[in-house]
């Protein structure tokens, strides 16, 4: 990774990568063996490594938004002491001496909202990255699982209640701060709910800037537990978020960009984690732009009032 950083130091202007020619030059400069790009592209070739028998069980079928997108039995997120079912998987990405842990899940259904919040509580999650809108193309992609009125408490079940305490919209995404309370003990936790709205389904964002700011802010507010991420199915857009976040973590630590073959194997179909043909090239563009910004010190423009680099800084 040191060679990579030294080579890209020759870039003096963030706009050098704003066109196709510039992007090709940067790619050749920074990845003489195309290693990092190959890592991203190879994620499409991963094969399923386990079975999904629990998700296929008759009693659990109604809990799946899509019948063909199920969690592995070995990496699914169990609910409660009895290991109840939710369509959600642990994704673990080694980043140096650390491990970035995510929960990739489907957009909640009306019948699984309580299960979703039970999972968030039990796994001590403090950040939810929602990569879809509730309705896209006249199709319901996700049930609204949060209150939309400030300071109004919503009962999730007889154990948990939820309140919206802050709402802010910035370019590309919406920030919600939620209070999740366990009724019996009175313990209250603050959950950052980040809803990225600049990414249409079966497509890619027109520019990586908003997503980089989103990921950076996600890292900035993350306190504990796995980062929960979902789109509608919990694969394409969620998988891309995980890939870019992990790669930026490696780059910011001057580490080799290497994602193990089983890094995204928590999903029942790892190929679908990058299911849109244009996603790999978008990942490449986003990573290249992020690295150039780290080195040039570009704040990402004045369109957002949140500095894109809040969660990432190049470590010395």
- For domain 2-296, the CATH architecture is Alpha-Beta Complex (3.90)
Q: How far apart are CA 32 and CA 222, in angstroms?
A: 34
Residue partners of 82: CB distance under 8 A and separation at least 6: none
Q: At what angle do helices 35-42 and 279-296 cross, to 10 degrees?
A: 140
Name the active-site residue from 30, 52, 105, 231: 231
Confidence of residue 4 (pLDDT cuts 50, 70, 90): very low
Contact 146, 178 (CB under 8 A): yes
Q: Is the pLDDT of residue 70 over 60?
A: yes
What is 107-152 written as a DSSP string?
Answer: PPPTTTHHHHHHHHHHTT--EEEE-S-SEETTEE-----S--SBT-
At 102, list the tokens: 């995510």
Q: What is the pTM of this model?
A: 0.76
Q: Is the pLDDT of residue 32 over 70?
A: no
Confidence of residue 293 (pLDDT cuts 50, 70, 90): low
Alpha-carbon distance values, 293 to 71, 141, 259, 307 (Å): 36, 34, 22, 12
Lowest mean pLDDT among 31-35, 105-109, 181-185: 31-35
Q: How far apart are CA 64 and CA 226, in angstroms?
A: 21
pLDDT for position 199: 77
Mean pLDDT across 45-53: 71
pLDDT for position 280: 46
| Catalytic residue list contains 52 | no
Q: At what angle do helices 35-42 and 236-252 cross, to 10 degrees?
A: 150
Mean pLDDT across 187-191: 98
Continuous segment of H or E residues that includes residue 220: helix 209-221
Domain ranges of the chain: 2-296
% of the chain residues with pLDDT over 70: 63
Query: Quick one: which of 269, 264, 248 has its CA closest to 313?
Result: 248
Confidence of residue 111 (pLDDT cuts 50, 70, 90): very high
At 2, list the tokens: 């040191």
Residue partners of 315: CB distance under 8 A and separation at least 6: 252, 253, 254
Query: Quick one: which of 55, 113, 70 has its CA closest to 235?
Result: 70
């Amino acid at each position: 990774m040191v060679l990579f950083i030294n080579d890209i130091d020759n870039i003096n202007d963030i706009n050098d990568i704003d066109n196709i020619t510039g992007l090709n030059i940067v790619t050749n400069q920074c990845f003489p063996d195309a290693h990092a790009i190959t890592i991203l592209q190879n994620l499409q070739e991963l094969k399923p490594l386990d079975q999904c028998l629990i998700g296929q069980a008759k009693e659990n079928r109604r809990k799946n938004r899509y019948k063909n997108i199920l969690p592995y039995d070995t990496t699914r997120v169990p609910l409660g002491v009895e290991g109840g079912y939710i369509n959600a998987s642990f994704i673990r990405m080694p980043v140096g001496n650390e491990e970035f842990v995510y929960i990739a899940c489907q957009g909640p259904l009306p019948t699984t909202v309580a299960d979703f919040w039970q999972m968030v509580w039990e796994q001590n999650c403090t950040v939810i990255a929602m990569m879809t809108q509730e309705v896209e193309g006249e199709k319901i992609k996700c049930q609204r699982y949060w209150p939309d009125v400030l300071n109004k408490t919503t009962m999730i079940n007889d154990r948990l209640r939820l309140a919206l305490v802050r709402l802010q919209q910035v370019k590309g995404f919406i920030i919600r701060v939620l209070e999740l309370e366990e009724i019996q003990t009175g313990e209250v936790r603050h959950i950052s709910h980040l809803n990225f709205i600049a990414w249409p389904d079966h497509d890619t964002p027109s520019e990586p800037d908003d997503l980089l700011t989103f990921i950076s802010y996600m890292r900035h507010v993350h306190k504990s537990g796995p980062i929960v991420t979902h789109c509608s199915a919990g694969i394409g857009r969620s998988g891309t978020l995980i890939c870019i976040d992990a790669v930026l973590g490696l780059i910011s630590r001057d580490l080799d960009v290497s994602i193990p073959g089983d890094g995204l194997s928590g999903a029942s179909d790892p190929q679908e984690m990058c299911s849109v043909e244009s996603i790999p090239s978008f990942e490449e563009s986003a990573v290249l732009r992020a690295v150039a910004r780290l080195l040039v010190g570009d704040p990402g423009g004045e369109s957002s009032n949140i500095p894109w680099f809040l969660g990432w800084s190049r470590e010395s």
